[in-house]
Structure 1
Amino acid sequence: MKLNTNLYVRIILDGIIAGVGLTLFFKVIQSITGYQVYTLLLNIDYIPHLNEFTFPEVVEVAFHLLVSIVLSIFLFLFIQRLQPKSTGSVIGICVSICFIIGALYFPTTLLSNRTPAISSIPSLVYWLIGHVLYGCILGKLLQKRLYKH
Structure 2
Amino acid sequence: MIGRVKLGLIAGTISGIALGLILKGIQALTGDLVYTLLLNIDFIPIMGSINWPEIIEFAFHLIISLIIGVVYSVGCARYFPGRKKAQAVLAYVLTLPTVFLYFPLTYLAIKPTPDLMDLSAIGYWTLGHAIYAVILFAVYTMNEK
- TM-score normalised by the chain length of structure 1: 0.87
C-alpha contact (below 8 Å) 1:91/1:143 kept by paired residues: no
* Ranges in structure 1 where 5+ consecutive residues have no aligned partner: none
Residue 135 of structure 1: aligned partner:
133
Query: Which amino acid in structure 2 is aligned with residue 141 of structure 1?
Result: V
Cα RMSD (Å) of the superposition? 1.7
C-alpha contact (below 8 Å) 2:5/2:74 kept by paired residues: no
Query: Are 1:65 and 2:59 counterparts?
Result: no
Counterpart CA distance in 2 for 1:132 and 1:26 is 12
- TM-score normalised by the chain length of structure 2: 0.89
Residue 115 of structure 1: aligned partner:
113
Q: Which runs of 4+ in 1 moved over 4 A?
A: none
Residue 50 of structure 2: aligned partner:
53
C-alpha contact (below 8 Å) 1:42/1:61 kept by paired residues: yes
Residue 8 of structure 2: aligned partner:
11
Q: How many residues align?
A: 143
Q: Quick one: structure 1 residues 130 and 118, their matched pair in 2 at CA, closer, same or farther if it must change by over 3 Å?
A: same
Per-residue deviation, residues 3-27 of structure 1 (Å, max 9, x unmatched): 13x4433321221111110000000
Aligned to 2:10, what secondary structure does the other structure show?
Answer: helix
Residue 106 of structure 1: aligned partner:
102
* Ranges in structure 2 where 5+ consecutive residues have no aligned partner: none
Residue 26 of structure 1: aligned partner:
23
Counterpart CA distance in 1 for 2:92 and 2:71 is 14
Per-residue deviation, residues 40-70 of structure 1 (Å, max 9, x unmatched): 0001022111011010001111111111111
Query: Which amino acid in structure 2 is aligned with residue 53 of structure 1?
Result: I
Q: What is the Cα deviation at residue 99 of structure 1?
A: 2.4
